[in-house]
Structure 1
Amino acid sequence: MSSNSSILSTKKLSTTQKELLLNSGIGFVEYNVIEIELLDVDFNQNIENAIFTSKNAVKALQNLEFEIQNCFCVGENTKKLLEGNGLKVSEIAQNASDLGEIISKNYKKEQFFFFCGNLRRDELPSILKENNVKLDEIVVYRTHKKSKKFDRTFNGILFFSPSAVQSYVSNNIIDNSMVFCIGNTTASEAKKYTNNIIVANKPTVENVIVQAVKYFDKRI
């Protein structure tokens, strides 16, 4: 068992997610390095095409009274949440760049609304702009960084968004810790601070944890 390994999760985990770590004997600390504030959205027009790269954007629109015909999203969890709200998902991609390429190739003449956070990444809007796809951006949530200084080092750190990386490094150094990232956009942010990076096979919290467990099990 990996009882000598310690991991920091940069977001609070559910009971079943914690069990994945506890069952492997890995010690862990959990802490929300960012907080999400859903904004009051004053928007009431029906939309043909909407883009969501995060579950937070979906949550911000859950109680609004307007219709969206087609949703384009990043990640299985975002897709599930959209479908759970009765919305039709026309396209899904593993990351924002891939989604931008799909839209530019197959939906170039359409108009899109991108529901996003205040710290949204540039990849998707840049790709659509380069391909002259009409895009309106609407900020529906804010990300607040809640950095905390740790007077210890961890064998592994779990990151679930680029802003989580930024928040953590504002008060800490990654040093020799192995970093586990939920996707490539999070990994590109982490690469500014370390080369010790493993990216999840699927963009889920569970898969990030599984990668960490596998890594530390091999090192015993």
Structure 2
Amino acid sequence: MKRINLLFTGQELDENILEELPIQFYVSVLPFIKTELLSNKHLIEQLNFIIESECQVIVTSNIAAKWITKYATNIPNWKIACMTGKTKDVFVTNEWKNLIVLTDQKSELLAENIEKVFSKSQKVYFITGESHLNIIPLYLSKKGFDIETIITYNTKEVEQNMEVNYDGIIFLSPSAVKSFFRQHKISIEIPLFAIGETTAAALKKIVFNPIITSPKPTQKILFHTIQQFFK
């Protein structure tokens, strides 16, 4: 049975993934980015100020969702639009599920639905990280929404050496794509696996390798997709 070497470039591999993989799959975890939550007093005070109001909030990152639920003094009366997958899971785990009014796995579709559901007469808070994409705020600004962006974490590149020829490389974010290809060149034949359309789009801008995108933005489905590819 041929061994299949995979490189996982994300920060955190979900629990049980390795246990569920067939024995021929070997996964090396080398994070090419790290995130740092911001914890300055003014930022946390700003969060808890808007928690006291009925706000419209957009969250496209599970890291931002973790920041919100970590520093919030109580569960607010918000309308939340967020990405499916781990971002939604953070809110569900912290019993914020009832605040979610919209979800999607693509930023463009989420922005279009927000336009239909959110009110233009009320400010919209986009709670995100330093390296966020501007797809949603730019779209809504053009449609007449008042958007305030709140930066809750920084993303830094991590230097990693590669000593193995991998049969496939796994990416969870555009930031990891940028960091990886700033450091390394790879054979054009190596398949690249993206957890979602945004990450796949970042890869397509840089390389001509085969790019396989998970049909849903979860690690479980991504790894199922990888197994199907190598059958």
The two structures have a TM-score, normalised by structure 1, of 0.90
Residue type of the alignment partner of 1:29: S
Equivalence for 1:167? 179
C-alpha offsets along residues 168-218 of structure 1, whole Å, 9 cap, x if unaligned? 11111242210110100000001122341011011001111111111112x
Equivalence for 2:94? 85
Aligned pairs for 1:46-195 (under 5 A) are 46-47=52-53, 48-62=55-69, 63-65=71-73, 67-87=76-96, 88-109=99-120, 110-175=122-187, 176-192=189-205, 193-195=207-209
Secondary structure of the structure 2 residue equivalent to 1:79: helix
Q: Contact 2:190–2:209 at 8 Å: present in 1 too?
A: no
Taking a change above 3 Å as real, the CA distance of residues 200 and 60 of structure 1, as seen in their structure-2 partners, is same
Secondary structure of the structure 2 residue equivalent to 1:170: helix
Q: Please list every run of at least 4 consecutive aligned residues from structure 1 whose deviation after the TM superposition is greater than 3 angstroms.
A: none
Equivalence for 2:220? 206
Q: Distance in 2 between matches of 1:6 and 1:98?
A: 35
Normalized per residue, the structure richer in strand is 1
1:197 is the counterpart of 2:211: yes
* Residue ranges of structure 1 left out of the alignment (5+ in a row): none
C-alpha offsets along residues 94-138 of structure 1, whole Å, 9 cap, x if unaligned? 122211111123325242101100000111111111111111000
Q: Contact 1:4–1:26 at 8 Å: present in 2 too?
A: yes
Q: 1:68: how far off?
A: 4.2
Q: Contact 2:56–2:118 at 8 Å: present in 1 too?
A: no
Equivalence for 1:35? 34
* Residue ranges of structure 2 left out of the alignment (5+ in a row): none
Q: Contact 1:174–1:194 at 8 Å: present in 2 too?
A: no
Q: How many residues align?
A: 215
Q: Contact 1:53–1:73 at 8 Å: present in 2 too?
A: yes
Q: Contact 2:65–2:90 at 8 Å: present in 1 too?
A: yes
The two structures have a TM-score, normalised by structure 2, of 0.86
Taking a change above 3 Å as real, the CA distance of residues 78 and 14 of structure 1, as seen in their structure-2 partners, is closer
Normalized per residue, the structure richer in helix is 2
Identical residues among aligned pairs (%): 27
C-alpha offsets along residues 7-58 of structure 1, whole Å, 9 cap, x if unaligned? 101124244111233x251222111111111111331223411111011001
Q: Say what the alpha-carbon RMSD is for the aligned residues.
A: 1.7
Q: 1:84: how far off?
A: 2.6
Taking a change above 3 Å as real, the CA distance of residues 148 and 132 of structure 1, as seen in their structure-2 partners, is same
Taking a change above 3 Å as real, the CA distance of residues 174 and 189 of structure 1, as seen in their structure-2 partners, is farther
